[in-house]
C-alpha cells in the first residue's frame, strides 16, 4: 500500500513551539497510520527516540546497525532502552558483505549497509518517522514536518524538523536525557566509525570528500 498525502488528509501545522510540534506530529502519525508507523533513530543522541516514546509509549524504534557503529553508540542505545523502557528493533545488513568496501566506495557501502536495511525496515509501513532537522546541514534546510517520500512510498514525518541545537539541548535538560559518550570528545554528528571524525557539525561525516548524505534521506 502506498501512503499519499491528499487534500483529505489533514497534516498538522507547525505552531512555532518545537516541543509541542514534535509530540503532535508523532501522535498524528500514530493515529492516522496505526500500526504502519516505522520510527528510525541513529542514537547519535536520545532526542527522537525519547520524543517518539513519550508521545506513544511502547512505539517500536528501529536502529539500523550497519556493522560499523561505534561501540559507544551500541552501548548508548542499550542504555536508553533500559533507562526509558524503549522498544528497540535492530535491523542489520545482509551477511557476507565486503567488510572493506568503504575504503574504495563509500556510496556502495552506504547502499548496502544503510539503504537496503532501511528498505527492509519499511516493509509494510505507510509512515516513516525520522530525526531529521533543518539545522543539521544546508542540504536539509527545507525539511518539512510532513511530506510524501515517493522513493520509499511512505508519508515521512520529521517531528524535529524545526528544532535548533539549542532546542535539542533544552529538551535534553528538561527531560534529564544522557549524552552520547562521544559528545564530550568532540563528536556532534555520529555515524559509522570509518567515516566520522570529531567536528562541531556534520562536516565530520565523510570529511575531505564531497559526500554529505548516506542515501537514506535523498
Which positions are catalytic?
214
pLDDT mean over 121-149: 90
Average pLDDT over residues 104-132: 93
b/e burial code for range 166-194 (CB count within 10 A of at least 16 → b): ebbeebbeeeebeebbbeeeebbbbbbbe
pLDDT at 103: 85
Domain 18-204: give its CATH superfamily: HUPs (3.40.50.620)
Tell how strand 127-129 and strand 146-149 pair up: unpaired
Q: What is the structure's pLDDT at 95?
A: 86
Across the chain, mean pLDDT equals 88
Beta-bridged to residue 146, according to DSSP, are 157
Q: Which residues contact 169 (CB under 8 A, 6 or more apart)?
A: none
Q: How far is it, in rounded angstroms, from Cα 15 to Cα 92?
A: 37
**86 DSSP 8-state letter:** -
Amino acid at each position: 500500500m502506498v501512503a499519499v498525502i491528499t487534500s483529505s488528509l489533514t497534516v498538522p501545522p507547525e505552531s512555532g513551539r518545537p516541543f509541542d510540534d514534535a509530540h503532535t506530529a508523532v501522535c498524528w502519525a500514530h493515529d492516522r497510520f496505526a500500526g504502519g508507523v516505522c520510527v528510525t533513530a541513529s542514537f547519535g543522541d536520545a532526542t527522537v527516540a525519547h520524543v517518539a516514546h513519550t508521545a506513544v509509549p511502547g512505539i517500536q524504534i528501529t536502529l539500523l546497525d550497519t556493522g560499523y557503529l561505534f561501540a559507544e553508540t551500541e552501548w548508548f542505545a542499550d542504555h536508553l532502552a533500559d533507562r526509558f523502557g524503549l522498544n528497540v528493533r535492530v535491523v542489520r545488513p545482509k551477511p557476507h558483505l565486503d567488510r572493506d568496501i568503504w575504503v574504495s566506495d563509500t556510496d556502495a557501502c552506504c547502499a548496502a549497509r544503510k539503504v537496503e536495511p532501511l528498505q527492509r525496515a519499511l516493509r509494510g509501513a505507510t509512515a516513516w518517522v525520522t530525526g531529521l532537522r533543518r539545522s543539521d546541514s544546508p542540504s536539509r534546510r527545507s525539511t518539512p514536518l510532513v511530506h510524501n517520500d515517493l522513493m520509499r512510498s511512505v508519508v515521512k514525518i520529521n517531528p524535529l524538523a524545526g528544532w535548533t541545537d539549542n532546542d535539542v539541548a533544552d529538551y535534553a535538560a528538561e527531560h534529564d536525557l544522557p549524552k552520547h559518550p562521544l559528545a564530550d570528545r568532540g563528536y556532534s554528528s555520529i555515524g559509522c566509525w570509518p567515516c566520522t571524525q570529531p567536528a562541531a557539525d556534520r562536516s565530520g561525516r565523510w570529511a575531505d570528500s564531497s559526500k554529505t548524505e548516506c542515501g537514506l534521506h535523498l
